[in-house]
Structure 1
């Protein structure tokens, strides 16, 4: 294998766990100058930099070129990492080097993107290859795509022997020399395809082969958006000036729900597109849920942007990747993975709903999309806007310290005003037995139905019930692979694990004692809430919005249009209903369990609960009708609930910040989580013991654990967790590298490091 030989077994184990120090670049061995050109390549395998041979007859390679190389008996994709060399060195001899076998005919990855890959790998303690793989997700994009016949007019074309009005119309349309498909030219000339084909037959038009992937439409920046308020204008001008000037400039756009943040950053987007070839990236938390955003973009710019997310088909992903790489695709909206697309000239970035926890990647390379977007903007030397009605603590601290420019919007757009928020004390106003809606909330729903207005009921719990137990023996039905109960999904007639996907039909008898009809559902999910609402309001038109009922972007868009057009009276949903939707006739939001997110020891529980409930409250009263929000709570005096009721999130976040600062907790300190997992519980515990024995210890660095993870078993693997807590400024990555370097790593145990963890499960 043509990689640099490691010097000892310890580094081999270190590399297998993903912590190889990629700064140790491969070196070249002495040989006659000009005989062998050694090329450093990073492949999509979880490794560092490897050396390969490049024939002298070929042009010298440049960094960023995408290649195919042999590795371990297979062929893998890779990227030339830095300039090739024929200088002297040591390690692998020229004779043992394997050759680069293929150079893909696509533009090279930019220096800016290569810097981002290296930075993310170093920050997250991930192999370079694992990060690079996120830049090359579509193998088909590297190959020549399908082709089709194109036609055009050139000076060599002979006029037809017989001219007609239809033929003249075609020739007039083709006179610009542009290559078009037959249907496209026929449509331009307002004739049938047969007329075009007749001209092709008599050689009055020239045929050629063109790519089957049609180019994306170009945004029309001459179109004007809605008239902005004074607040919006000030914010928009600041962003536009930064885009015009160029250079890295981070903004926090802190605007209440309904204040028109989208229209503000659209102004910056339009300014960026005035420069020929400039490209724009807009990150959104969950692209499948942004149908209204796409409609607004189309209305503003006359075309739809390029969409990038995991549900996009392979053919469309190939088309998008290639046209982004060539610079033809000007505006891309996508989920966090769009951050690693091969833009040629990235001039502006927006991270919409920057507070959303969906930006945190919890599998593979563990990174936060918002934070990495700021890094990419710095390398691209372009402005970036982080937009939210409920900014994250990290962004608020950066704004308060002057690292970000803070732009505030404190008025709702147009005639809309913020909704009134009231708390329902469930200790004083409990629901009837077997119900989850308080009498006060039911009364408010009745009023909306009478006035033909809409209600949204929020409960962040999927399925029918989170627990199924036996009334006879007390048995709880658990997942065989995970430390979790199976959740009943009555719509699908199944019990399902939300962690590994294991599912079974709902049993007719208890699996433990075999007693028939003894199983009972405990606790409410949205499906159970639907059952209650359907019973209490039989004439209402009711819809349910969850990730189980909205399985594709098309289904989501259909539901959103139904709500916006007033075809539903009551909408029941989980967190997906909080994603910035605008429903003009929705005037009541009812939160079924406002205390749900406050339970447990999550560092960000209070912040996250406030953000989620403030977002869902913001769906009410967004047009000319006043809105109302009712929070059902058993802890109405909790600071989060009080802040919501008093519309005083700034005070809550200030108290939260002061508490974290005293304890040196993020963003005033550093956390890194170690997740140990494996099929053998004893081996996992032993790996935890070995790490604990060699753990770093100082006044500013503490290590807690190992301890069983709250989710102690997932997908058949036992899990333990350790937590490194350090004061701000401590080189956490260096500390962990050193720690792992002096610890024996057991091959049966996977150790995953999560820098800046958001999940503590």
Structure 2
């Protein structure tokens, strides 16, 4: 190539053409450094015919400065970038930026200095030095990382370095990972599991695109079953990606993986240090990485030889990204499998209605695991009608649920209480004047977190201390917590069962993999009697001694106008119910509700998943909702309310009249103020055959807006706030 067309990572820039200097070798997919005015920018060389732009004469082209020492992006990955940008109406530059998400990885080979104990002793021993030496036995890391482990200051450790107690070790940042072995510890599978595993292995060995829905009840051993196609891919020297919906699930999964394959997989999520991201990214791009376990962003990494993707808990809403490029990792995973020509396994006990419909129409292949592993039985499910059996005044647990908690504690068994609401109470107000604590940045109440002594917004992260007096009327000692969160339920359990050991499990308490691992260890060691948690506890955990699940408020998810509310409620409650009775002891599930006649609650009580999905399918078909119709949202926002409203009205005034596409709005968003921005929304409802993306681009692209206005498109939205 003597000229190159460059896709930059700045959506405001057009595609740019450059001259390739003599002696420099670039191909489509090469990552390059290019001049732009007085500065340098990064870009990816693209096929000119696939990236239309105004061609510049050769004589006017500036030369590229350099190539980045990483493998070129493969053609299949470039096609995925194009598809994702087109389908989700996002700039290609924003999608490409997710691929090159580790800036450190783009630099050449690097080393760093780590430290370890030398065996020497300090001239003078202090309490901090003694604690550091005890905790750092067998550890090797940077000074900052060692300080975190030892819980001392950097200065304490630097003093130990100066005295030779800690010795430096120069290490290669990109050192190799331990190898996984497909035959390390082959499991004993049931006949059901073996039959499904054999079909999955055959799909991997065929090296062809095959979207597969693995539909197995909770406790059926889906993980052990899909480990077999993972092993098959390893034997073929193909890379594997396993997507998990929550970082809190990672540690438990890593342990199971290491037990099966003799080494942990490579991990990818937002909590990794920059050096860890660099090491992982480079190993993935060169093909050295065998298996990657990660959050949704791991889907866009530049795998050298991908042979299988597994999307675990594929129904989970957290696979949908709600800002930036608003993609659904479940669907993009299927498209990556299509471009790379390998199987994609969607594993779930409660599949998304869209996935079931794809299987029904023959687009996905469906494999079933209808029974629990090892003869364990599914739990009995009973409803507690809160209109008839009311909790005591000031309490939220019905007497029958409280009695069952006590019985489990007496028998040495574990219980789990599920309430999908973090904190102590969702609303705090003044009993004197009625003042309500509201976020200054959002249209949301501040949630009281009594454990950490703060009022917090769960939308923007704003926090403040609870005041001594009411900010409005100055009345002291007048603040009242309204409604329950998990912390309040935990307090109630402590009152009912003062001897019980209670753990609160939320994204606040399990916000790192280490904390999640410690929780799992304590639960498995039976150091916890009652777990009180949010949706974090609904998936992935296997505690054989857990025999009771109580759903504190099954109606909570049905509130608020979410168009998938019934499906999401069914999935959450069915998943948390599946935590009970996974060992040899039978399980029981008690569901508290004020609407026992609601179809979703009746289906849960009857354990009749098929009846629920059939009813939900017909309701969606009648409404023209996914999977029988298409949804898209347009969100208009600005820090100036009038500016946002005017922009939304202008968009509404120019909306097209297109057959098979209905446009509703503009209207203020349910969350009219979010992170300091005023918001208006449109909802687009279309037939499956309608070209929604094309219609949206033709409608919105010609419009110009003030700099402070943002207009974003959400294809297949999951959030309607």
Q: Structure 2 length as normaliser, TM-score?
A: 0.90
In the alignment, which residue of structure 2 is the partner of 1:112? 76
In the alignment, which residue of structure 1 is the partner of 2:191? 230
Local SS of the residue matching 2:514: helix
In the alignment, which residue of structure 2 is the partner of 1:700? 660
**Which of 54, 70, 75 is the aligned partner of 2:19?**
54
Local SS of the residue matching 2:631: strand
**Which of 52, 76, 89 is the aligned partner of 2:41?**
76
- Matched ranges for 1:125-164 at <5 A: 125-147=89-111
Local SS of the residue matching 1:692: helix
In the alignment, which residue of structure 2 is the partner of 1:735? 695
C-alpha distance in structure 1 between counterparts of 2:6 and 2:583, whole Å: 56
**Which of 495, 498, 506 is the aligned partner of 2:466?**
506
C-alpha distance in structure 1 between counterparts of 2:35 and 2:595, whole Å: 62
**Which of 410, 414, 420 is the aligned partner of 1:450?**
410
C-alpha distance in structure 2 between counterparts of 1:374 and 1:49, whole Å: 30
Deviation digits for residues 515-572 of structure 1, max 9, x if unmatched?
Answer: 1111111010111111111111110111111111122110111011100111110011
**Which of 425, 430, 437 is the aligned partner of 1:477?**
437
C-alpha distance in structure 2 between counterparts of 1:741 and 1:623, whole Å: 57
Query: Is 1:244 equivalent to 2:209 in the alignment?
Result: no
**Which of 214, 220, 242 is the aligned partner of 1:253?**
214
**Which of 254, 257, 263 is the aligned partner of 1:294?**
254
**Which of 605, 608, 624 is the aligned partner of 1:645?**
605
In the alignment, which residue of structure 2 is the partner of 1:561? 521
C-alpha distance in structure 2 between counterparts of 1:336 and 1:66, whole Å: 23
C-alpha distance in structure 2 between counterparts of 1:47 and 1:63, whole Å: 22
Q: Check 1:645–1:281 CA distance in 2 against 1; reply closer, same or farther (3 A cut).
A: same
8 Å CA contact 2:4–2:20 kept in 1: the answer is no
**Which of 584, 587, 590 is the aligned partner of 1:624?**
584
In the alignment, which residue of structure 2 is the partner of 1:189? none
C-alpha distance in structure 2 between counterparts of 1:546 and 1:741, whole Å: 42
Query: Is 1:121 equivalent to 2:85 in the alignment?
Result: yes
Q: Check 1:48–1:82 CA distance in 2 against 1; reply closer, same or farther (3 A cut).
A: farther
C-alpha distance in structure 2 between counterparts of 1:210 and 1:682, whole Å: 57
Q: Check 1:73–1:416 CA distance in 2 against 1; reply closer, same or farther (3 A cut).
A: farther
C-alpha distance in structure 1 between counterparts of 2:437 and 2:520, whole Å: 35
C-alpha distance in structure 1 between counterparts of 2:171 and 2:385, whole Å: 67
Q: Check 1:90–1:598 CA distance in 2 against 1; reply closer, same or farther (3 A cut).
A: closer
Deviation (angstroms), 1:293: 1.4
C-alpha distance in structure 1 between counterparts of 2:301 and 2:32, whole Å: 17
8 Å CA contact 2:313–2:347 kept in 1: the answer is yes
CA RMSD of aligned residues (A): 1.9
In the alignment, which residue of structure 2 is the partner of 1:152? none
- Matched ranges for 1:138-537 at <5 A: 138-147=102-111, 211-276=172-237, 278-537=238-497
C-alpha distance in structure 2 between counterparts of 1:555 and 1:89, whole Å: 50
C-alpha distance in structure 1 between counterparts of 2:597 and 2:106, whole Å: 58
Deviation (angstroms), 1:83: 6.0
8 Å CA contact 1:60–1:84 kept in 2: the answer is no
Local SS of the residue matching 2:375: coil
Local SS of the residue matching 2:401: helix
8 Å CA contact 1:116–1:375 kept in 2: the answer is yes
Local SS of the residue matching 2:315: coil
8 Å CA contact 1:47–1:130 kept in 2: the answer is no
Local SS of the residue matching 1:378: helix
C-alpha distance in structure 1 between counterparts of 2:232 and 2:48, whole Å: 36
8 Å CA contact 2:174–2:282 kept in 1: the answer is no
Larger radius of gyration: 1
In the alignment, which residue of structure 2 is the partner of 1:169? none
Deviation digits for residues 636-688 of structure 1, max 9, x if unmatched?
Answer: 11111111111111110111111111221111111110000001111111111
Local SS of the residue matching 1:242: helix
8 Å CA contact 1:283–1:350 kept in 2: the answer is yes
Gaps of 5+ in 1: 1-33, 150-182, 184-208
C-alpha distance in structure 2 between counterparts of 1:50 and 1:495, whole Å: 47
C-alpha distance in structure 2 between counterparts of 1:334 and 1:73, whole Å: 38
Q: Check 1:514–1:626 CA distance in 2 against 1; reply closer, same or farther (3 A cut).
A: same
**Which of 694, 712, 720 is the aligned partner of 2:680?**
720
Local SS of the residue matching 1:511: coil
Deviation (angstroms), 1:401: 0.3
C-alpha distance in structure 2 between counterparts of 1:646 and 1:731, whole Å: 41
Deviation (angstroms), 1:70: 3.0
- Matched ranges for 1:598-677 at <5 A: 598-677=558-637
C-alpha distance in structure 2 between counterparts of 1:698 and 1:128, whole Å: 27
Deviation digits for residues 454-486 of structure 1, max 9, x if unmatched?
Answer: 000111100111111111111111111111111
C-alpha distance in structure 2 between counterparts of 1:542 and 1:56, whole Å: 67
Q: Check 1:84–1:638 CA distance in 2 against 1; reply closer, same or farther (3 A cut).
A: closer
In the alignment, which residue of structure 2 is the partner of 1:193? none
8 Å CA contact 1:48–1:127 kept in 2: the answer is no
Gaps of 5+ in 2: 114-139, 141-169
Deviation (angstroms), 1:740: 1.2
Local SS of the residue matching 1:450: helix
In the alignment, which residue of structure 1 is the partner of 2:120? none
Query: Does 678-687 or 342-351 show the bigger shift?
Result: 678-687
8 Å CA contact 1:419–1:620 kept in 2: the answer is yes
C-alpha distance in structure 2 between counterparts of 1:213 and 1:51, whole Å: 33
Query: Does 53-62 or 733-742 show the bigger shift?
Result: 53-62
Local SS of the residue matching 2:714: strand
Q: Check 1:219–1:635 CA distance in 2 against 1; reply closer, same or farther (3 A cut).
A: same
Local SS of the residue matching 2:395: coil
Q: Check 1:114–1:90 CA distance in 2 against 1; reply closer, same or farther (3 A cut).
A: closer
Deviation (angstroms), 1:84: 10
8 Å CA contact 1:38–1:84 kept in 2: the answer is no
Local SS of the residue matching 1:290: helix
Q: Check 1:727–1:83 CA distance in 2 against 1; reply closer, same or farther (3 A cut).
A: closer
C-alpha distance in structure 1 between counterparts of 2:11 and 2:611, whole Å: 45
8 Å CA contact 2:3–2:20 kept in 1: the answer is no
8 Å CA contact 2:213–2:359 kept in 1: the answer is yes
Query: Is 1:41 equivalent to 2:6 in the alignment?
Result: yes
Local SS of the residue matching 2:332: helix
Deviation (angstroms), 1:601: 1.5
C-alpha distance in structure 2 between counterparts of 1:148 and 1:284, whole Å: 31
Q: Structure 1 length as normaliser, TM-score?
A: 0.85
**Which of 536, 545, 569 is the aligned partner of 1:585?**
545
Deviation (angstroms), 1:716: 1.4
Q: Check 1:148–1:498 CA distance in 2 against 1; reply closer, same or farther (3 A cut).
A: closer
Query: Is 1:99 equivalent to 2:59 in the alignment?
Result: no
8 Å CA contact 2:649–2:666 kept in 1: the answer is yes
C-alpha distance in structure 1 between counterparts of 2:37 and 2:418, whole Å: 52
Deviation (angstroms), 1:48: 6.5
Deviation (angstroms), 1:749: 1.3
C-alpha distance in structure 2 between counterparts of 1:228 and 1:435, whole Å: 45
Deviation digits for residues 195-222 of structure 1, max 9, x if unmatched?
Answer: xxxxxxxxxxxxxx98443211111112
